Structure 1
Amino acid sequence: MWTADERHLAVGFDFGTTNSSVAIAGADAQVKLASFPLAGIETQSFRSVLYFEQYKTSEGHKRAHSLTGPAAIEHYLQTDEKGRLVQSLKSHLSSRTLTGTEVFGRRYKLEELISRMLSDLRKHTVNQFGKQIRYAMVGRPVRFVGAETDEDQEFSVARLRAAFALAGFEHVDFEMEPVAAAYTYESTLDHDELILIGDFGGGTSDFSLLRVGPEVRRRGRKPEDLLGNSGVGLAGDAFDARIIRKLVSPALGSDSEARSLNKLLPAVPAWIYANLERWHYLSFLRTNNVREILRSARIRALEPEKIEALIAIVEEDLGYQLHQAVQELKFALSRLDNAEFRFRGAGMDLRIPVTRTKFESWIQEELAAIESAVDTLLQSSGIKPSEIDRVFLTGGSSFVPAVRQIFESRFGADRIRGGNEFTSVAHGLALRAAESLRRG
Structure 2
Amino acid sequence: MLFDNDLNPVLGIDLGTTFSAIARWDGHGPRVYQTRTGEDTLQSVVYLDPKTNELLVGKVAFRRGLIYPENMAIGIKRYMDDASQKIVLAGQAFSPIELSARILERLYKDVAEKCPTNLFRSRATVVTVPYYFKAHQCENTSKAAELANINCIGLIQEPIAASLAYAWQIVQSSNAKKFAENILVFDLGGGTFDLTLFRLEKSPEKLLFEVLATGGDDRLGGMDFDECLFQFLLEKADLTLDGLTDLEERKARQKILEQVIEAKHTLSATQTEYITVTDVIPGRHIDTIVTRSEFEGCIQTYIDKIERVMERLWATTNMQPQQVDRVILVGGSSKIPCIKSLVSDIIGAVKVYQNTNPWLCVAEGAAIYAAYLDNPEVFGRNIEIRTRTSHALGVEIKEKEFYPLIAANRKTPCQQTQVFSTTSDYQTSLDINIYQGCDASVKNNTFIGTIGIYDLPKRPQGELDIWVTFNVNESQMLSVIVEVEGIRKAATLKFA
Q: TM-score, normalised by structure 1?
A: 0.74
Is residue 9–residue 122 contact of structure 2 (8 Å, CA) maintained in 1? Answer: yes
Report the equivalent of 1:329.
Answer: 263
CA shift, 1:436, in A, is: 2.5
CA shift, 1:5, in A, is: 6.4
Distance in 1, matches of 2:239 and 2:63, equals 30
CA gap 1:102/1:400 in 2 versus in 1, 3 angstroms: closer
Is residue 6–residue 132 contact of structure 1 (8 Å, CA) maintained in 2? Answer: no
* SS, match of residue 81 in structure 2: coil
Report the equivalent of 2:142.
Answer: 161
* SS, match of residue 117 in structure 1: helix
> Over residues 167-203 of structure 1, what are the superposed CA-to-partner deviations in whole Å (9 max), with x where a residue is unaligned?
1134331111112111222222225332211111101
CA shift, 1:157, in A, is: 1.2
**Does 1:369 find its partner at 2:305?**
yes
Equivalent residue for 2:45, pick from 49, 57, 60: 49
Report the equivalent of 1:58.
Answer: none
CA RMSD of aligned residues (A): 2.9
CA gap 1:92/1:201 in 2 versus in 1, 3 angstroms: same
Q: How does 1:61-100 map to 2 (within 5 A)?
A: 64-73=53-62, 84-95=71-82, 99-100=85-86
Q: Which amino acid in 1 is paired with 2:260?
A: V
Distance in 2, matches of 1:86 and 1:134, equals 30
> Over residues 362-419 of structure 1, what are the superposed CA-to-partner deviations in whole Å (9 max), with x where a residue is unaligned?
2122111111222222332233222221111121111212211221111221111234
Is residue 54–residue 83 contact of structure 1 (8 Å, CA) maintained in 2? Answer: no
Q: How does 1:132-143 map to 2 (within 5 A)?
A: 132-133=121-122, 135-143=124-132
Is residue 36–residue 110 contact of structure 2 (8 Å, CA) maintained in 1? Answer: no
Identical residues among aligned pairs (%)? 24
Report the equivalent of 2:215.
Answer: 230
* Structure 2 unaligned blocks of 5 or more: 378-496
Distance in 1, matches of 2:374 and 2:80, equals 28
Distance in 2, matches of 1:318 and 1:138, equals 35
> Over residues 217-275 of structure 1, what are the superposed CA-to-partner deviations in whole Å (9 max), with x where a residue is unaligned?
x332446x222222122011111111112213675854x8xxxxxxxxxxx4xxxxxxx
Distance in 2, matches of 1:160 and 1:312, equals 33
Q: How does 1:205-284 map to 2 (within 5 A)?
A: 205-212=193-200, 215-216=202-203, 218-222=204-208, 225-233=210-218, 234-248=220-234, 253-254=239-240, 268=242
Distance in 1, matches of 2:107 and 2:345, equals 39
Report the equivalent of 1:277.
Answer: none
**Does 1:424 find its partner at 2:361?**
yes
Report the equivalent of 2:92.
Answer: 106
Report the equivalent of 2:33.
Answer: 34
CA gap 1:75/1:245 in 2 versus in 1, 3 angstroms: closer
Distance in 1, matches of 2:70 and 2:20, equals 22
> Over residues 33-80 of structure 1, what are the superposed CA-to-partner deviations in whole Å (9 max), with x where a residue is unaligned?
111133xxx10110111111122xxxxxxx511111134345557xx7
Is residue 18–residue 202 contact of structure 1 (8 Å, CA) maintained in 2? Answer: yes
Q: How does 1:270-349 map to 2 (within 5 A)?
A: 297=243, 307=244, 312-314=248-250, 317=251, 320-346=254-280, 347=282, 348-349=284-285
* SS, match of residue 107 in structure 2: helix
Q: Which amino acid in 2 is paired with 1:95?
A: D
Is residue 332–residue 359 contact of structure 2 (8 Å, CA) maintained in 1? Answer: yes
**Does 1:379 find its partner at 2:315?**
yes
* Structure 1 unaligned blocks of 5 or more: 56-62, 145-152, 257-267, 269-296, 298-306
> Over residues 129-153 of structure 1, what are the superposed CA-to-partner deviations in whole Å (9 max), with x where a residue is unaligned?
6630263211111224xxxxxxxx1
Is residue 72–residue 89 contact of structure 2 (8 Å, CA) maintained in 1? Answer: no
CA shift, 1:321, in A, is: 4.1
Distance in 1, matches of 2:343 and 2:304, equals 12
CA gap 1:22/1:311 in 2 versus in 1, 3 angstroms: closer
Report the equivalent of 1:280.
Answer: none
Of stretches 44-53 and 359-368 in structure 1, the one that deviates more from structure 2 is 359-368
Q: Which amino acid in 2 is paired with 1:375?
A: E
CA gap 1:345/1:425 in 2 versus in 1, 3 angstroms: farther
Distance in 1, matches of 2:121 and 2:277, equals 43
Is residue 184–residue 197 contact of structure 2 (8 Å, CA) maintained in 1? Answer: yes
Q: Which amino acid in 1 is paired with 2:129?
A: R
CA shift, 1:319, in A, is: 5.2
Is residue 6–residue 133 contact of structure 1 (8 Å, CA) maintained in 2? Answer: no
| Matched pairs, number | 360
Q: Which amino acid in 2 is paired with 1:432?
A: Y
Q: Which amino acid in 1 is paired with 2:323?
A: E
* SS, match of residue 305 in structure 2: helix
Q: TM-score, normalised by structure 2?
A: 0.66
CA shift, 1:355, in A, is: 2.5
**Does 1:411 find its partner at 2:352?**
no
CA gap 1:67/1:9 in 2 versus in 1, 3 angstroms: same
Of stretches 114-123 and 127-136 in structure 1, the one that deviates more from structure 2 is 127-136
Report the equivalent of 2:451.
Answer: none
Is residue 8–residue 437 contact of structure 1 (8 Å, CA) maintained in 2? Answer: no
Higher relative contact order (CA 8 A, sep 6+): 1
Is residue 35–residue 42 contact of structure 2 (8 Å, CA) maintained in 1? Answer: yes
CA gap 1:172/1:352 in 2 versus in 1, 3 angstroms: farther
CA shift, 1:126, in A, is: 2.1
Q: Which amino acid in 2 is paired with 1:227?
A: L
CA gap 1:364/1:320 in 2 versus in 1, 3 angstroms: same
Distance in 1, matches of 2:40 and 2:362, equals 12
Q: How does 1:170-185 map to 2 (within 5 A)?
A: 170-185=151-166
Of stretches 329-338 and 366-375 in structure 1, the one that deviates more from structure 2 is 329-338
Report the equivalent of 1:400.
Answer: 336
Distance in 2, matches of 1:81 and 1:362, equals 28
Is residue 68–residue 116 contact of structure 1 (8 Å, CA) maintained in 2? Answer: yes
Q: How does 1:348-359 map to 2 (within 5 A)?
A: 348-359=284-295
CA gap 1:436/1:311 in 2 versus in 1, 3 angstroms: closer
CA gap 1:82/1:203 in 2 versus in 1, 3 angstroms: closer
